[in-house]
Amino acid sequence: MSGPVTATATRPGGVDLKVRSVVRTFGSGAAAVRALRGTSFDVAAGELAALQGRSGSGKSTLLNIIGGLDQPDSGTVQIGGTEVTSLRRDDRSRLRRETVAFVFQSYALIPILTALENVAVPMRLIGTDPAQRDERAMLLLRMVGLGDHAHQRAHELSGGQQQRVAIARALANRPRLLIADEPTGQLDSENARQIMELMRALSDTEGVTVLVATHDPAVIASADRVLRISDGVVTPVDRAAEAGQPSAAGIPPATAAPPSAPEPPAEPVAQAPEPEPEAPAPPARPAAPESPQDPYSAWRRPPEEPPHGG
Ligand code: ADP
Ligand code: MG
């Protein structure tokens, strides 16, 4: 196999996230559902934040607004200093292609495409060179432990495997914020553990900011920050204080340069039907990838970048 893909690995790591006074109401009058009631919180660049809350508490509504899939009635969301809530539609689309990536509970792969083709979709949208695209797609699949399944169609894979493909796809364009909406909700505990280890590694090794809605106690325990949402209001939990440690310093300044790629065609919505309930998975295939010394080399950037912008 060829060396790690580094030619396009030039972006800095994660971005910080600031949510301010976000309100979202569905419907009106007596039937109105106040899904978000003016909620505010921060996530620092490179953190893995767990969003915890009961069903119906507003998690998906919040994540969709942060990711630019929905608009708030009022309030703002800033990602790396860019106020996404006031972006024009095409700029929001670009944000979704290049800065923010989503992982859904239902995987949302294109079932008839192979694992490799699914991972390549976001790179097609930004016009990545085909050879580089396929090489990177393969590296990402190896990274999530699916190198041997690259040419299998998505619908032939188990739920855990499909979710790993979805994560590989989410990473294709090197997002700086990864949003995951109950990504392990349909998985058994072993597959859930593998998915979470992947996300943890992205935060740890690459500084990608990860915001994950979850009920999973293991995820919550391993998060850098826990955000509890109840009745449409987020309450950050100061875990450092709970553990009796000094609180983390402030959020590093955002130094993101705006992306300047040429405008690609409008993105298709990769909508897959709800997958079948998980087929009996083959014996747990370790997420450990084929390259023993550097499992995340497909993702890792070259080291020359300074940790702080000027
Ligand atoms: P969670 O993801 O925490 O389960 P959601 O954000 O999906 O919660 O939903 C929050 C509240 O908003 C719920 O009462 C839900 O029924 C309502 N809701 C979400 N989306 C819509 C919608 N498109 N239309 C009407 N109500 C909605
Ligand atoms: Mg939800």
Would you list the domain boundaries of the chain? Answer: 14-99+177-245, 109-174
Which residue would you say has higher pLDDT here, 250 or 102? 102
Residue with tokens 């300047």: 260
Q: How far is the CA of 60 from the centre of ligand 2 (A)?
A: 4
For residue 216, what pLDDT is reported?
85
Please write the tens of the pLDDT for every residue from 281-309.
444 333 434 343 444 555 544 333 444 54
Average pLDDT (36-58) is: 95
Which pLDDT band, with edges at 50, 70 and 90, does 254 fall under?
very low
Lowest mean pLDDT among 19-23, 32-36, 45-49, 189-193: 189-193
Q: At the fourth CATH level, which superfamily is domain 14-99+177-245?
A: P-loop containing nucleotide triphosphate hydrolases (3.40.50.300)
pTM, rounded to two decimals: 0.76
Question: Which of 193, 192, 296, 253 is CA-nearest to residue 16?
Answer: 253
Residue 186 DSSP symbol: T
Q: How far is the CA of 36 from the centre of ligand 2 (A)?
A: 13
Average pLDDT (60-85) is: 93
For residue 28, what pLDDT is reported?
92
Ligand 1 pocket: which of 34, 61, 211, 214 to mutate (most atoms <8 Å of CB)? 61
Which pLDDT band, with edges at 50, 70 and 90, does 280 fall under?
very low
Which pLDDT band, with edges at 50, 70 and 90, does 105 fall under?
confident
Ordered alpha helix ranges (H), the chain: 59-66, 89-98, 115-125, 130-143, 159-170, 189-206, 217-222, 239-242
Q: How far is the CA of 64 from the centre of ligand 2 (A)?
A: 10
Task: Report the alpha-carbon distance of residue 201 to residue 93 in Å, rounded.
Answer: 27
Residue 15 DSSP symbol: -
Task: Report the alpha-carbon distance of residue 287 to residue 111 in Å, rounded.
Answer: 22
Which pLDDT band, with edges at 50, 70 and 90, does 17 fall under?
very high
Please write the tens of the pLDDT for every residue from 175-212.
999 999 999 888 888 888 888 888 888 888 878 999 99
